Structure 1
Amino acid sequence: MKYAIVEISGRQFWIETGKYYDLNRIPTELEKEIILNRVLLANNDGEILIGKPYLDSVKVKGKILEHLRGRKTIVYKMRPKKKTRKKQGHRQDLTRVLIEEIKIN
């Protein structure tokens, strides 16, 4: 099984080929190829490579499928005994990326 742990926009993801992941918004066009080069760990059928902090020999190739918005999160603030209430909603902008290949040199 081939997988990699990649850092994207300040978060770490366990990535496998053929699957798609929802990441924070990446400002590029649809159907465009992207290269993820901040690979922290890679597993090539039992051979584990660990970076210090990143692996220079491993690249992850993906394709942007769509831009979407996440589920709504409700933010509710209330001050007791003051009759002050504030209700807000937030939807995060996301990008869906299909992982096509994990290339280990």
Structure 2
Amino acid sequence: MYAIVENGGKQYKVEVGHLLHTEKLNGVAQGDKVVLDKVVLVKTDDGKVLVGKPYLTNVTITGTVVEHARARKVLVGQFIPRKGHKTIKGHRQWYTTIKIENIEIK
């Protein structure tokens, strides 16, 4: 069984037991329970596919916050030829890791 969930403007495929790396969830501490309720699609073990318009209201996905961390550095540069100008800046994006525990269809 798997589901497609929307979080932070992006869609993720989740399964029970997998780790999900999403945009940072503010106000949630490590070890807290999280409910993901914007479920777009669910495929059950017996082959049934449930599609929401736009979301499924009878499906909830629960998980536990494992950690808040920062991703690898992404370098952004600018180069202007014949002017002697070159700048390089780095950026590290915050993310939250969630362990998916349950996909419940009511």
Judge same fold: TM > 0.5, yes or no: yes
2: CA distance, partners of 1:67 / 1:76: 27
2: CA distance, partners of 1:93 / 1:78: 27
- Unpaired segments of 5 or more residues in structure 2? none
Listed as ranges, the matches of 1:1-105 within 5 Å are 2-27=1-26, 28-45=28-45, 46-105=47-106
Q: Deviations over 1:22-67 (max 9, x none)?
A: 1111111110001000000001111110000000000000110001
- Unpaired segments of 5 or more residues in structure 1? none
2: CA distance, partners of 1:7 / 1:22: 12
1: CA distance, partners of 2:92 / 2:61: 28
Q: Which runs of 4+ in 1 moved over 4 A?
A: none
1: CA distance, partners of 2:59 / 2:43: 10
Q: What's the CA shift for 1:80?
A: 1.2
- The percentage of aligned residue pairs carrying the same residue is 38
